[in-house]
Amino acid sequence: MKFSHKLSDAVHILAFVYVYADGDLSSNAIAASIEANPSMVRRMMSTLVKAGLLNSQPGKVALHLAKAPEDISLLDVYLAIEDNRNLLHVDEKTNPLCIVGGNIQGTLNGIYAQVQNAAEAKMAQVSLREIIDDILTRQAQK
Amino acid sequence: MKFSHKLSDAVHILAFVYVYADGDLSSNAIAASIEANPSMVRRMMSTLVKAGLLNSQPGKVALHLAKAPEDISLLDVYLAIEDNRNLLHVDEKTNPLCIVGGNIQGTLNGIYAQVQNAAEAKMAQVSLREIIDDILTRQAQK
DNA sequence: CCAACTTGTAACTATATTAATAACTTGTTG
DNA sequence: CAACAAGTTATTAATATAGTTACAAGTTGG
């Protein structure tokens, strides 16, 4: 498959909604910033709304964050958008009759879960506020 | 794309070489345990040899670990095998004229690097020895 | 009320990355 | 030298993703 950049696009949407709160927040405008398809943006918006990170109204341009940006972590977005998908993946087709093939899936699942926890703990430490601040700092330095 | 399980297969090869040190270590035998293609196994073997984790001899079945299993970390295998090392990926096609689109790539690259570091630090803590021990423990408990 | 917009879905297509396959060269061994 | 092994390269198949198209349903201003 292609590498997923859904997480990046979801953060993009949330940051956009906050930075351009008084501007055009239609799916078309957001899609132009992401350089993605408006339909894809709407799909993602819908997911973020269901996850309780974003509020919207059908038929109206009325997008705003459901929480303050300091109360939305990168992990919140990750869990909302990536459908709890794992960063590492075991090979689920190994020979059960072999000592290694018959046990390595359980072993690696445990280890991968630890790696996943470490990554998620780091994501939990990053708030949307920090991301937006960094974006604005970078813009100011241009 | 499909989800990659190269890391799992590479660990599988190394564990197999250690556990079945006195058995059949041909690419065909290993492929049967992974339930993968012998050619794929040989390619992976080749990569592991080049990374200094495995020793082999062309034309001969003479596979053995290049280091003691306690001196090979999961991170070593990860860095050897995964050519695209990043777990998270920025969307590289965003509108540079937008405040968000023009800066978010740099912002997220920095954050994703932190997440990557956290994940790799955890991988560095896991040795092949622990993985093999866990496999053998699971086998003994069957 | 209706034309022109919007969000929200669903189905389909295109693309990218991977694993699998096949074929070949080179090296080893009995 | 026959049989088999590692090592390599090229091609194909599989699959998760983004992109596209289409349309239903809600909103709004004239």
* C1’ C26 / CA A29, Å: 60
The C-alpha angle with vertex A121 and arms to A119 and A125, in degrees rounded to 5, equals 115
Residue-wise pLDDT for B41-82, tens only, equals 999 999 999 999 999 988 788 899 999 999 999 999 999 998
- Sorted by where each begins, the domain ranges of chain B are 6-140
Residue-wise pLDDT for B79-128, tens only, equals 999 876 799 999 999 999 999 999 999 999 999 999 999 999 999 999 99
Predicted ipTM of the assembly = 0.92
Asked if the B6-140 domain carries CATH number 3.50.50.60, the reply is no
Residue A59 CB in 7 A reach of strand D: yes
> DSSP class of residue A96?
T
Q: Which of A37, A95, A107 to substitute to test the interface with B, most B CBs within 10 Å?
A: A107
Q: Report the residue from A94, A100, A138 with minimal CB separation from B107.
A: A138
Are the C-beta atoms of A135 and A19 separated by less than 8 Å? yes
Residue nearest to nucleotide C15 (CA to C1'): A2
Angstrom distance (rounded) from CA A60 to CA A39 = 16
Reduced to 3 states, what is the DSSP secondary structure of residue B40? helix
Angstrom distance (rounded) from CA B63 to CA A51 = 51
